[in-house]
Amino acid sequence: MPTELTSALADVRALLLDTEQLARAVAAGRRKGLEPPAAERVEVRPVQLKNGPHLQFTARTGPVVSTRNVAVADAGAAVDELLSQPYGNLHVETADEVVQVRVTKKGDAQVHRAPARQAAGPQQHDRSKQRLVDPDDPLFRVLGAGGDKRRQVEAFVRQLAPLTPAVVERSGPVLRAVDLGCGNAYLTFAAHRWLSGQAQAGGRALVTVGVDVREDVVATGRKAAADAGLPGLEFAIGSIEGATPFDDATPDVVMALHACDTATDEALARAVRWEAPLVLAAPCCHRDVQRQIAGHASPLVRHAILRERFADVLTDTLRSIVLQLLGYRVEVVEFIDSAHTPRNAMIRAVRAGRPQGSRLAELLDEFDALTGAWGVEPALARMLAPELAGVRQTLA
């Protein structure tokens, strides 16, 4: 083991055992060329239990989550066991700083330090918190969702909550929501739980449909909905492009959460053609634009990691402009800290009517300038080409 890595792990060990200063830590990823660790991801945080301070280890592999609490006096062995695993990334937050350790292909350690972002120290269990989704809700047990996933759920619902009342008010007797490419459907369940209360308060019924092409995912979703006791939550097999979740009716809320690459664009295009009042999309990878800019001469995209990050920004910027051109008020926001997921951008779009006059011309100029400068044709623009052509004709 290189001395540099040994030294970095020793520093991490000391930080983990200083429970008065530690806020949380995460071990994830695996080192190149080595067998994967015992768990895909382990989160460590100090907790105060009735019998004193402990370190809590929450391990996750796929949907399987396990938690164990180790008394601080006995925590050294547990921390050593964790650090002996071949994790490629270690993230530690303390009262003073945030420390990130990445193990390179050669087995060296790259260490980055930054000022602290949150208070540290043992966290009191059962303290009062204002939650939009109860962390003890049975749906989390049914889904096998650990602490990290629960935080994503809470953060997502906080983005949905302020936009819900206006949608409920404008809906008919049935409020309709659809999650396109729902996958494991954590956020589908959370959205349905939140929307059901809002719909009921407004005197509406609620139907939420999760759509996915995989039969096993749909079957799992249906069983989990029944086990969690969530009437009105349904799942359907189908593609995003061909989805008709409500037959002739159109949805009031369209969600596309971590749909990969152009699947996000398919969902946005579907929402535009439905004229959905509210759209929430958390994009995943952006390979379409990334491929198109690979040969560009700009130093911004010379290195693969910079090209990937820039493609994220460029793709979501162009998506935002297209949605605005076609009648949506758009915000691109961070819906959860990047420590929980690197795919933490969310596009929130509320239907507000197409822009007119100088604002329309300004948006078209912005779109043309960006696509021309980078030589790209974004997928969303290709999918909505007839609609965009109609917009251009209004200025002709």
pLDDT digit string, tens, across residues 159-179 = 888 888 889 988 999 999 999
- Say if residues 381 and 289 touch (Cβ distance below 8 Å): no
Specify the pLDDT at position 184: 82
pLDDT top residue among 130 and 267 = 267
Over 277-320, what HEC string results?
A: CEEEEECCCCHHHHHHCCCCCCHHHCCHHHHHHHHHHHHHHHHH
251-255, 265-269, 293-297: range with lowest mean pLDDT = 293-297
- What mean pLDDT do residues 267-285 have? 93
Number of H helices, E strands in the chain: 13, 15
Specify the pLDDT at position 136: 67
Distance in angstroms (rounded) separating the CA atoms of residues 299 and 235: 45
Q: Exposed, middle or buried by CB within 10 Å (0-12, 13-18, 19+), for 115?
A: exposed
**Residue 324: which residues within 8 A CB-CB, separation 6 or more?**
330, 355, 363
- Per the DSSP assignment, residues forming a β-bridge with 28 are 41, 89
pLDDT top residue among 202 and 206 = 206
* Collapsed DSSP state (helix, strand, coil) of residue 50: coil
pLDDT-above-70 percentage for the chain:
89
53-67, 89-103, 184-198, 294-308: range with lowest mean pLDDT = 53-67
DSSP state of 121: S
151 pLDDT exceeds 90?
no
Specify the pLDDT at position 63: 63
192 pLDDT exceeds 50?
yes
Structure tokens at 280: 């929430």
Rounded to the nearest 5°, which phi and psi values hold at 180? -90, 120
Domains (ranges, CATH) in the chain?
Answer: 3-124 (no CATH), 138-393 (3.40.50.150)
32-36, 43-47, 79-83, 332-336: range with lowest mean pLDDT = 332-336
CA angle 143, 144, 146 (to 5 degrees): 120
**Residue 76: which residues within 8 A CB-CB, separation 6 or more?**
17
- What mean pLDDT do residues 311-340 have? 86
- What mean pLDDT do residues 98-116 have? 86
- Per the DSSP assignment, residues forming a β-bridge with 109 are 103
Specify the pLDDT at position 289: 92
Question: Mean pLDDT of all residues in the chain?
Answer: 86
Residue found by looking up tokens 């993230």 in the block: 91
1 pLDDT exceeds 50?
no
Q: How confident is the model at residue 341 (pLDDT cuts 50, 70, 90)?
A: very low
Specify the pLDDT at position 368: 97
Let me know how long the chain is: 396
129 pLDDT exceeds 60?
no
CA 271 to chain centre: 19
Beta pairing class for 174-180 and 253-257: parallel
- What mean pLDDT do residues 265-274 have? 96
**Residue 174: which residues within 8 A CB-CB, separation 6 or more?**
204, 205, 206, 207, 249
Specify the pLDDT at position 264: 92
- Say if residues 177 and 236 touch (Cβ distance below 8 Å): no
